[in-house]
Amino acid sequence: MKRVLCIVLDSVGCGNAPDASSYGDAGADTLGHLYQRIPGFRLPALESLGLAELLHLERTVEILPNASFAKLTEKSAGKDTTTGHWELMGCALEQPFATYESFPAELVDELAARGGVEFLGNFAASGTEILEQLGAEHLASGKPILYTSADSVLQIAAHEEIFGLERLWDLCKTARSLLDEKGIRIGRVIARPFLGSGPGDFQRTGNRHDYSLMPGETVLNQLQRAGAQTIGVGKISDIFAGSGVSDSYPTKSNAEGMAAIEKLWSAKQTRDQLIFANLVDFDSLFGHRRNPAGYAQCLVEFDAWLSRFLPKISADDLVILTADHGNDPYAPGTDHTREQVPLLVLNADRPIHDGDFACVSRLIAQRLIPGAN
């Protein structure tokens, strides 16, 4: 039986894409800037897979003999999680998702009527900023907070205890259904629960849920038809609206995600298997909050885990590490950055080369789908 592990390091880009200036991201370089500006910053386990060579840095560790590496450039328009993950799995977007500065009044009114609520907000903002602006009013009024960002997202924030977690999730499901009914191509509806008693005390919790647009055909669907098991770790099932995902293990942090990977890796296999994981803390906790020191430490912690995990990989296992977009903590603003992403592979079936994000889907198919090329 064959086994593939694909880990997406959410937002860990490696230099601005050729069209980055069209997105306002000229010069963005998530990994490059961390290496340049954080004294003593090194990632020896990732560098043993070729990261230093990929970034044109001085080599401090030997590259593993079964490692190969490349840079991937996104073909789809956009720089969001859904677009990146879909293309990684072979579903490139010919038409970009819809984005808004604020949502049309008729859409908001219908969602409010269906959900039995009134909304605060309805403008573009970062998640932490909008809680400081409107969190106190939400506590006083009970009205959920509606907002968006530069990405194709409709986000609703509400206090877990005062508004209710299940109620928030149901409201977001209603929003997803409404958008789909109207043919509005917003990539994700995101439930953003939080706790706290007032400004300065508000904290988003790990009970977030993403409700994605249904993707087109992906390698996940192809794997299922070929009889392989497809396991999502983290928000993978949410990103693909459950399509092509046999089993899902949601997580609230990188630590939970890495623990889930280890547990799945040690479990007995009964058929060919893809474990597809997203580790989100780089992006959600440090990239959007423009916290370079936190971002670097988060990478160091992952790298330490990876160094312990690498010996558990056999020569028959295919392991892929990549990313879905950038989020340079040194860039202006709080949004994702349009970047190329690293592709680090152990035990590839053939030499890998720079290409589009869908290179990942082809590597997986070559290993797990008979006759794929």
Known binding site for Mn(2+): residues?
10, 283, 288, 324-325, 336
pLDDT at 128 over 90: no
Distance separating alpha carbons of residues 124 and 181, to the nearest angstrom: 23
In contact, 150 and 336? CB cutoff 8 Å = yes
126 in Cβ contact with 147 (< 8 Å)? no
Which has the closest alpha carbon to 276: 303, 311, 312, 238? 238
Output the CATH code of domain 3-95+215-368: 3.40.720.10
Domain ranges within the chain, ordered by starting residue? 3-95+215-368, 105-212
DSSP characters over 114-181: HHT---EEEEE--HHHHHHHHHHHHHHH-PPEEEE-SSSEEEEEEEIIIIIHHHHHHHHHHHHHHHHH
pLDDT band at 95 (very low <50, low <70, confident <90, very high): confident
- Those residues with Cβ within 8 angstroms of residue 167's Cβ, 6 or more apart along the chain or in another chain: 158
Name the percent of the chain lying above pLDDT 90. 91
pLDDT tens digits, residue range 309-345? 999 999 999 999 999 999 999 999 988 999 999 999 9
Q: Which CATH number fits domain 105-212: 3.90.220.20, 3.40.50.150, 3.30.70.1250, 3.90.1150.10?
A: 3.30.70.1250
The pTM of the full predicted model, rounded to 2 decimals, is: 0.89
Binding site, residues? 10, 283, 288, 324-325, 336
Could you report the per-residue pLDDT of 14-38, keeping only the tens digit for each?
998 999 999 999 999 999 999 999 9
DSSP SS3 for 73: strand
Strands (DSSP E) along 3-59, which ranges?
Answer: 3-9
pLDDT score at 151: 82
The per-residue pLDDT for range 276-287, each reduced to its tens digit, is 999 999 999 999
The pLDDT tens digits of the residues spanning 160-206 come to 999 999 999 999 999 999 999 999 999 999 999 999 999 999 999 98
- Calculate what percentage of the chain has a pLDDT beyond 70: 100
User: 361 vs 149, which has greater pLDDT?
Assistant: 361
Treating both helix axes as pointing N-terminal to C-terminal, what angle do 254-266 and 292-309 enclose, rounded to 10 degrees? 10
Q: If you average pLDDT over every residue of the chain, what do you get?
A: 95
